[in-house]
Every structure is written in C-alpha cells, then in structure tokens.
C-alpha cells in the first residue's frame, strides 16, 4: 500500500488494516505515525489503546484512553475499554468508576454492565454483581451469558452466607462434616440443603428444655 508520510488518515487506516488482521504491533506503529501528525484525534488514541490491550500492554492502553478522553469525554466505548485495561491491572475500583461513566453516557450499554458485573464478582461483591446482570437481562432478556453469570453470583453469595452461618453456629453446636464439606468442596448444588440442616440443628439447640 502506498503511504503518504504526511497524511495522518492514511496511517490511521493502515493501522486499522493491521489491527483487523491481528497484527497489533504493526498497528500500534501505524497509529503512532498517525498521532505524530495529528495528536488531537481521539479515535486514533482509542484504536491504539485497543491494539495495546490485545498485546496485554494494559498500562500503556490506559494512557491512550486517557488521551482519548481528554479530547472526547463523551465516548462511552473509551470509558468501557479503559475499565477493561484497569481491571487487568487489578485496579478494580477505578475500573468500576469508568464503567459507571460509560453507563451515565449510555445506560443501555450492555458491555459496560457486563464489565461492571465481572469486576464486582472478582471483588466478591456478589449481590451487586447480580444486579448488573439483572440490568442486562432487562435490556436483552435472551442474553444467556448474563443469565448464567447471574446464577453464578447468586451461588457464590449463598456460599458466603453458608460459611458465615457455620462460623456463628459452631460456637454452640457441633457442625456435621457434610456441612463443612459443602463449603470446602464448593458444592453449590447442596448449599440450600446444608443451610437448612444447619438451621434445624441451631433451632433444636435453642429449644427450651421441658421441666421434669
């Protein structure tokens, strides 16, 4: 392809071609040439950031998205992609803030809801995560991935509740090994049964003894 070395758009288009072909190193080099000629192009900064994510260069990607947002803070896609890069740097609180910015711009942005739900799950904030998937299902009731992820968040919250209940109950009763094993083995199928058994044992312990 003939290249006009003074045309930023030509370098940008070449970068897109390389990115579409999954040649991300070459794409980044082209975006660099484009941005050297036109540093005020938010889309080129966004596209470079995306290529850097594909190369797992997440810190550099965040820098690119920051430059894009300085130029166009209303781009929900950039906020979501910055969120994704921050999440891979384990900067979850900042990432959630980015998702919320994206959702302020576009409350129907399913990918931002999904990203927020994933991060809240990683932070063990399972009830909040489940609510994110509820929002996705309100937008798109047929989205099976959201339904599956919501079920997993509910299971994990129930497992944490069981572990907490065991901790309280073992102060006054002997906990059956089978109940311990539900938590130990992450046996989500039997959480409800284990909780019922535990509650029944606690209730029996608390029953008043009839006078003789």
pLDDT in tens, 153-206: 999 999 999 999 899 888 888 888 998 899 889 998 899 999 998 888 888 877
pLDDT band, residue 1 (cuts 50/70/90) = very low
What pLDDT is stored for residue 3 in this prediction? 54
Lowest mean pLDDT among 3-17, 36-50, 84-98: 3-17
Specify the CATH number of the domain 1-72. 1.25.40.10
Q: Is the pLDDT of residue 23 over 80?
A: yes
What pLDDT is stored for residue 211 in this prediction? 58
What pLDDT is stored for residue 210 in this prediction? 52
CB-based contacts of 63, cutoff 8 Å, min separation 6: 49
**Percentages (nearest 5) of helix, strand, coil residues in the chain:** 75, 0, 25
Q: Is the pLDDT of residue 120 over 90?
A: yes
What pLDDT is stored for residue 19 in this prediction? 96
Lowest mean pLDDT among 29-33, 107-111, 162-166: 162-166
pTM for this predicted structure: 0.81
Q: Which long-range contacts (CB under 8 A, 24 or more apart) does 37-44 make?
A: 37/6, 37/7, 37/8, 37/11, 38/8, 40/71, 41/8, 41/12, 41/71, 42/67, 42/68, 42/69, 42/71, 42/72, 42/75, 42/78, 43/12, 43/68, 44/8, 44/12, 44/15
Average pLDDT of the chain, as a whole number: 92
d(CA 76, CA 60): 19
pLDDT band, residue 4 (cuts 50/70/90) = low
Q: What is the DSSP letter of 207?
A: S
d(CA 28, CA 50): 9
Query: Using CA of residue 89, residue 90, residue 94, residue 99, what is the dihedral sign?
Result: positive
Residue 12 burial by CB count (10 A; 0-12/13-18/19+): exposed, middle or buried?
buried
Nearest to 153 by CA among 133, 182, 181, 180: 133
SS3 (DSSP) at 76: helix
Q: Is the pLDDT of residue 96 over 70?
A: yes
């Amino acid at each position: 392809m003939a290249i006009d070395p003074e045309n930023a758009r030509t370098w940008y288009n070449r970068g897109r071609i390389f990115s579409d072909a999954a040649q991300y190193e070459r794409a980044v080099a082209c975006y660099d040439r484009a941005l050297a000629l036109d540093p005020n192009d938010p889309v080129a900064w966004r596209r470079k950031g995306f290529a850097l994510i594909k190369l797992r260069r997440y810190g550099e990607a965040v820098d690119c998205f920051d430059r894009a947002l300085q130029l166009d803070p209303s781009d929900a896609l950039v906020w979501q992609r910055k969120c994704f890069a921050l999440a891979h740097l384990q900067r979850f609180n900042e990432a959630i803030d980015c998702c919320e910015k994206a959702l302020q711009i576009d409350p129907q942005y399913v990918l931002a809801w999904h990203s927020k739900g994933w991060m809240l799950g990683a932070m063990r904030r399972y009830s909040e995560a489940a609510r994110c998937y509820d929002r996705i299902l309100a937008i798109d009731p047929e989205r099976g991935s959201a339904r599956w992820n919501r079920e997993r968040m509910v299971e994990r919250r129930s497992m944490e509740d069981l572990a907490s209940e065991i901790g309280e109950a073992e102060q006054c009763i002997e906990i059956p090994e089978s109940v311990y094993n539900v938590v130990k083995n992450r046996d989500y199928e039997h959480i409800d049964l284990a909780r019922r058994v535990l509650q029944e044992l606690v209730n029996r312990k608390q029953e008043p003894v009839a006078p003789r």
